[in-house]
Amino acid sequence: MLPSETPWDLDQRLKSTIREANMTLSGVQHYAWFVTSLTPYMRTTLSQQKISTQVEALEIAMRLHETLIQDLGLGVQQIQVQIQNLCLEM
């Protein structure tokens, strides 16, 4: 998965590659390729769950991606507050 890519983008890129190569993959194979292509954080989380379809994996990966972005945003906000507090103390 590219740094600027969402799980949706990754899935679309995989589907395009599969079509261009004239490959036929079962749902299980598509799911395996999708999960393998994700970031380690998402891959580990998805592999620990009982997921039966690639669509379900995509939905969970998208939620994980959104949560990760929110967590990073909160981290940045906390750092900004700490910097502001340090500036006020000076």
Task: Examine the pLDDT at 11 and tell me if it is beyond 60.
Answer: yes
CA torsion sign, 54 to 59 to 60 to 66? Answer: positive
**pLDDT of 69 above 60:** no
Tell me, what amino acid is at 31? Answer: Y
Domain-embedded: residue 26: yes
> Which of 1-5, 15-19, 23-27, 78-82 has the largest mean confidence?
15-19
Q: Does any domain span residue 1?
A: no
Question: pTM to 2 decimals?
Answer: 0.53
Q: Which residue matches tokens 């589907």?
A: 15
Top pLDDT among 60 and 76 is at: 60
Q: 60 vs 16, which has greater pLDDT?
A: 16
* Host domain of residue 49: 7-89
- CA-to-CA distance for 39 and 26, rounded, in angstroms? 22
Residue 2 lies in a domain: no
Look at the chain and report how many structural domains it folds into. Answer: 1
Which ranges in the chain belong to alpha helices (H)? 7-20, 27-37, 40-47, 54-89
CA 13 to chain centre: 14
| Residue 90 in this model has a pLDDT that exceeds 60 | no
Is 17 part of a structural domain of the chain? yes
